[in-house]
Structure 1
């Protein structure tokens, strides 16, 4: 089985974080609870820095133990660094991409990778994407937009034009939702994360972007958030309102089948619903390893989605 949603931090990136600790406000916090250190960046996202994140041999051993034959590795969202200057974000992206290429190119039968880009500058992001794919990476992982720009905005045209030319995989991974109503009971992660994907995915679908850039392979994390479950509401809106239908050549439910979705849903009935809605060839196995809410080993009935995404 393949795993299309998994994360890793190469040693070179850890070294960079220590060397630039003050600039990005990186903190390693020991909680005296028997767990690994807790890493935070710029007082935002924090997570336990488990061995699976930073030790390559351990990662490969766990992969084999779980029966995963091939993993598509992504940078962690905490290190997109979109809040920092273009120079810092580009430096991190260039280092991260090179380090992942160095590792995965040594064991291509077991590993491949996506890179990261300085998304706040779409022209630079296009250049970094091009370089990453020339290194052997399959595409990039990006957030669901910026605080002042949705991904469907014309602002991102240079990036999507290059991704389309390169037939790149663009894995859209949410960042934690900052809705003040969610500041309790782990709701930023429980519902904020899939909500961010829902907003981004719905906007991209209704924008008709996939018609303009048909060669891009867009993969949504966590089963596409809530969008597949509410696609009937979008179809009804398509019938009722020009604001919904004006950019589309078919109902939203048809566009839904032109994207890819991972299987990180933690519920077999939800996964079966997703497969029945978008098709077996559009759902790829994923785990979100080694984050706390990972599905390990990944769940999937087949590898049809993996074949279609990489093909």
Structure 2
């Protein structure tokens, strides 16, 4: 089986739940400032054209067949995070997201799902993770941060512990970049912003010692981990020479071989460089289906980058089977 670990579903019930709620207008205004009017128009048109592929199981399965994908791990659109929401609304959002994703995936045994948790309320994040596990979801998707809360925040320790206990995958997928208006043209908010946010989020997990304290965590990074795997020498050098960068026990590069990374790096040479940095056992296939920054041919791209053999088989299927505890 060829397994795509990075694919999304759009859940209209979540959008309906947050519409006109206090804080939603401010959230939309921030999104507009970060992306700029040209990108907002283009993204609206793109979503409209691909709505059936984001919501209908038959369209999803047809896309999978065309791409040679046998199994997808489906996560909610990152636009559903809504980390601005108060406790009551946050609970409603995670329940709708988890239940909606589970229902979507229940329509085919080729689909498995991830839920959402409200990072802005760490105690509710634990509750939401339990809810996702009870629905049979394989883990949860989180952004690179919540307002005022990095992934290194000690308040998230109970969430990491519960994820370990469940054996749940935590899929780190950014939404929005705090560089704000500096990236509001040319779609830099996504083209540059997403890999920046990946690198910052993973660095918080590594340098803070979260992965020392929670060694069984299953962290999966979208977009090949962003810029971090390509510049590990600087991270290791900083750890060696700066005392404040030594809250982690080992050089930062060693922790990347304890996380997993999707293959969405576009170029064969980039995929091979990622494997050199983290190991073939830590890379899984990802497409970002069906968004335009994703790829429609993830299997073909891996075959173009890697010769037939154990490494290719690991990236296409074996690593994801083990990571998500899928039936073989």
Identify whether the pair has TM-score above 0.5, normalized to the shorter chain. yes
Aligned to 1:36: none
Give yes or no for the alignment of 1:14 onto 2:12. yes
Aligned to 1:114: 114
Give yes or no for the alignment of 1:165 onto 2:165. yes
Across the aligned residues of Structure 1 and Structure 2, the Cα RMSD in angstroms comes to 2.0
Q: 1:69 to 1:183 in 2, by over 3 A?
A: same
Aligned to 2:144: 144
Aligned to 2:28: 42
Q: Any gaps of 5 or more consecutive residues in structure 1?
A: 28-40
Matches within 5 A, 1:1-311: 1-9=2-10, 13-15=11-13, 17-18=15-16, 21-23=19-21, 42-43=28-29, 44=31, 47=43, 48-49=47-48, 50=50, 51-108=52-109, 110-179=110-179, 180-245=181-246, 247-298=247-298, 299-300=301-302, 301-302=312-313, 303-311=317-325
- Report the CA distance between 1:258 and its aligned residue: 0.6
Q: Is the 8 A contact 1:170 1:218 kept in 2?
A: yes
Structure (1/2) with the larger helix percentage: 2
* Distance (whole Å) between structure 1 residues aligned to residue 234 and residue 322 of structure 2: 28
* Distance (whole Å) between structure 1 residues aligned to residue 251 and residue 7 of structure 2: 32
Q: 1:242 to 1:136 in 2, by over 3 A?
A: same
Q: Is the 8 A contact 1:281 1:306 kept in 2?
A: no
Equivalent residue of 2:266, what SS?
coil
Q: Any gaps of 5 or more consecutive residues in structure 2?
A: 33-39, 303-311
* Distance (whole Å) between structure 2 residues aligned to residue 187 and residue 147 of structure 1: 21
* Distance (whole Å) between structure 1 residues aligned to residue 107 and residue 60 of structure 2: 15
Paired residues, number = 293
Q: Which moved more, 1:50-59 or 1:65-74?
A: 50-59
- Report the CA distance between 1:236 and its aligned residue: 1.3
* Distance (whole Å) between structure 2 residues aligned to residue 304 and residue 237 of structure 1: 34
Q: Is the 8 A contact 1:68 1:297 kept in 2?
A: no
* Distance (whole Å) between structure 1 residues aligned to residue 204 and residue 133 of structure 2: 27
* Cα deviations by residue, 1:220-264 (Å, 9 ceiling, x for unpaired): 11000100111011111222122222x233221111111100011
Q: 1:121 to 1:292 in 2, by over 3 A?
A: same
Equivalent residue of 1:23, what SS?
coil
* Cα deviations by residue, 1:258-311 (Å, 9 ceiling, x for unpaired): 110001111110111001111111001000011111122224333343134124
**RCO higher in 1 or 2 (8 Å CA, sep ≥ 6)?**
2
Q: 1:206 to 1:290 in 2, by over 3 A?
A: same
* Distance (whole Å) between structure 1 residues aligned to residue 131 and residue 90 of structure 2: 15
- Report the CA distance between 1:42 and its aligned residue: 2.6
* Distance (whole Å) between structure 2 residues aligned to residue 16 and residue 248 of structure 1: 38
- The two structures have a TM-score, normalised by structure 1, of 0.88
* Distance (whole Å) between structure 1 residues aligned to residue 210 and residue 17 of structure 2: 40
* Distance (whole Å) between structure 2 residues aligned to residue 171 and residue 16 of structure 1: 20
Equivalent residue of 2:192, what SS?
helix
